[in-house]
Amino acid sequence: MEPYATADQVWQGAMIFARIGAVLLMLPGVGESYVPPRIRLSLALVVSLALWPVVSASLPALPVTLGGMAGWIIREVLVGLAIGALLRMFLTALATAGEVVALQTTLAFAQTANPTQASPGSTLSAFLMILGTTLIFATNTHHLFIAGLVGSYELIAPVRPLVTGDFTAMAVRTVADAFTLGVQLAAPVLVFAIIFNVASGLVGRVMPAFQVYFAAAPLSIILGLSVFTLSIGVLGTVFIDRYRAMAGVFAGGAGG
């Protein structure tokens, strides 16, 4: 190997590949189960080679023991998985919004396979998750992922101690923000459902003999989906803006 790459260069490439490969394993779109493993590994290798001249200066020297090498590799894999998990956690805002809309439109019983999650969910939730993944690539938000990979070597430098408390706090905050955003995205349908249910209750009290359920159920579905359709443009815009802001946290390290 010496005529082609020194031992230090091979070690640096392995370190970069460990973090990049772990991040791509969790990224939305790229890290889905329907993407062949060969494609993900090839992409991780290409990105690692592209980033090697940029981040090689921040990598530690080649350890003298096998245990030291394994420790560094495991550390980089854990860092990559943590970064990728944070980016995927925020995507659950769309799943939350879809479940809320499905509950309010009485469509929660319609379960379907969700290609972006391990378990099946409501049809609206699966639709919004696919919509979010499409928006990430349609708006070139995935370019921020590449910048974030470079910035992660400044925010979480390999030579610095790994602070797990910061990851835990950020993960909890990300989950809380994703749930809050999911409820906010479903707010138009929530407001409609409250007004519609109150009106249905008043009709039932005024006309006890009237079959409110049989008349209200189809109206709830039709009107609820109509409100959801009218608000889907704003829903996608708000989500992608918030998602780009979160991805920019890591990308900001590259610019700084």
* Residue 238 lies inside a defined structural domain of this protein: yes
208: Cα separation from own chain's centroid? 48
Mean pLDDT of the chain: 83
In a domain, 251, yes or no: yes
Domain count within the chain:
1
State the average pLDDT over residues 185-190.
92
Structure tokens at 186: 């479903």
Strand partners, 78: none
The mean pLDDT of 62-75, rounded to a whole number, is 87
Band of pLDDT at residue 107, cut at 50, 70 and 90? confident
Asked, for residue 46, whether it belongs to a domain, the answer is yes
Note down the domain range covering 178: 7-255
pLDDT (tens digit per residue) in 69-93: 888 899 889 888 888 888 888 888 9
* Residue 149 located in a structural domain: yes
What value does the mean pLDDT take over residues 181-201?
A: 90
Is position 25 within any domain?
yes
DSSP-assigned letter for residue 120: -
Distance CA 49, CA 20 (A): 10
Considering 107-121, 132-146, 209-223, the range whose residues carry the highest mean pLDDT is 132-146
Whether residue 2 lies inside any domain: the answer is no
Q: Residue 45 falls within a domain, yes or no?
A: yes
Spatial distance between the Cα atoms of 139 and 161, rounded to a whole number of angstroms: 35
Q: How does pLDDT run across 39-57, given as a tens digit for each residue?
A: 888 888 898 888 888 888 8
Range scoring the smallest mean pLDDT among 100-104, 114-118, 158-162, 209-213: 114-118
With vertex at residue 88, the alpha carbon angle to CA 83 and CA 90, rounded to the nearest 5 degrees, is 105
Q: Which residues pair with 200 in a beta bridge?
A: none
Task: Report pLDDT for 256.
Answer: 43
Q: What percent of the chain has pLDDT over 70?
A: 91
pLDDT at 36: 83
Which residue in this structure is represented by tokens 């407001």?
Answer: 191
CA nearest neighbour of 128 among 105, 106, 101, 159: 101
Q: Specify the residue for token string 């704003």.
A: 234
In the numeric block, which tokens belong to residue 151?
């910035």
Q: Give the per-residue pLDDT at 255.
A: 45
| pLDDT tens per residue, range 236-256 | 999 999 988 888 776 554 444
Is pLDDT at 65 greater than 90 in this prediction? Answer: no
pLDDT of residue 1: 46
Q: Is residue 217 part of a domain?
A: yes
Token reading at 91: 């995507």
